[in-house]
């Protein structure tokens, strides 16, 4: 059974209800969550089982889903052109420019926490690896300043060591943070109501990760690996666009 203690320290929300064709909702959350094991349905920075079943407290740390800062904003805007709007209410321009809607979602959050392991010691201390890994030893704080982090060196590997002779390591669980996320999704849509009562054709153009911002995954966390501290995975897709037509009747 997983014991979790979640603490939401602060939350702020700004909302403008739909009026004059515009609506926006923005929310910021500062939170912290602590537990003793990985959430099994969430692939995170620690293992499902501890290295020492006789010491539950050793596993206590930040939850794998503990994003400390999160800001999400969504909006929708109907352009003021076309029939029933403020401008260009008739004529060819009203049919070309009228009826368009712009919407989007912006998501910014801080990084996920992760744990430093020493996989070379797994067989020597009786761990199978995968579900449970031997921890590394913490020599010093391996966190780097923000301006020194890059995909080849996300943390200072010299702050951690493989316990020698082989034994259970003393590093805590989820003590470092991975890369944050910045994502903008965008949509442009229009309804064509020229097909009689109750029937319309809707066109949508959607872009996910509109600015093609790199969304990096967690770095290599195994101190026994030559690639320790290096990021080689992505946490999200590059820009994806899709077009859709839907007929309502």
| 130, pLDDT greater than 90 | no
Question: d(Cα 44, Cα 40) in Å, to the nearest integer?
Answer: 9
- Closest C-alpha among 213, 232, 224, 222 to residue 151: 232
Q: Give residue 1's pLDDT band: very low, low, confident or very high (50, 70, 90).
A: very low
pLDDT surpassing 80 at residue 11: yes
Average pLDDT, stretch 116-129? 82
User: Measured between alpha carbons, how far is 22 from 215 in angstroms, rounded to an integer?
Assistant: 30
* Number of domains comprising the chain: 1
Burial 144-168 (b: 16+ CB within 10 A, else e): beeeebeeeebbbbebbbbbeeeeb
In this prediction, what percent of the chain has a pLDDT beyond 90?
Answer: 53
Domain residues for 60? 4-248
- Between CA 204 and CA 29 the distance in angstroms is 31
What's the pLDDT at 48?
66
**Range ranked top by mean pLDDT from 4-13, 116-125, 238-247:** 238-247
């Amino acid at each position: 059974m997983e014991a979790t203690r979640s603490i939401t320290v602060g939350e702020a929300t700004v909302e403008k209800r739909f009026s004059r064709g515009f609506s926006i909702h923005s929310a910021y959350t500062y939170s912290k969550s602590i537990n003793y094991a990985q959430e099994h349905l969430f692939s995170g920075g620690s293992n499902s089982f501890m290295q020492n079943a006789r010491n539950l407290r050793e596993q206590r740390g930040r939850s794998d889903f503990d994003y400390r800062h999160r800001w999400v904003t969504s909006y929708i805007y109907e352009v003021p052109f076309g029939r029933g709007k403020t401008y260009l209410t008739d004529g060819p321009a009203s049919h070309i420019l009228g009826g368009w809607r712009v919407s989007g979602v912006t998501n910014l959050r801080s990084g996920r926490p992760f744990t430093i392991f020493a996989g070379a010691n797994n067989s020597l201390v009786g761990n199978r690896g995968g579900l449970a890994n031997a921890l590394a030893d913490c020599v010093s704080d391996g966190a780097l300043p923000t301006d020194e982090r890059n995909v080849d060196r996300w943390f200072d590997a010299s702050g951690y060591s493989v316990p020698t002779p082989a034994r259970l390591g003393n590093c805590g669980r989820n003590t470092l943070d991975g890369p944050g996320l910045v994502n903008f999704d965008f949509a442009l849509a229009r309804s064509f109501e020229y097909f009689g009562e109750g029937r319309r054709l809707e066109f949508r153009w959607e872009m996910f990760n509109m600015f093609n911002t790199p969304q990096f995954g967690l770095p290599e966390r195994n101190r026994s690996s030559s690639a320790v501290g290096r990021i080689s995975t992505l946490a999200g897709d590059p820009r994806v666009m899709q077009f859709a037509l839907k007929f309502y009747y």
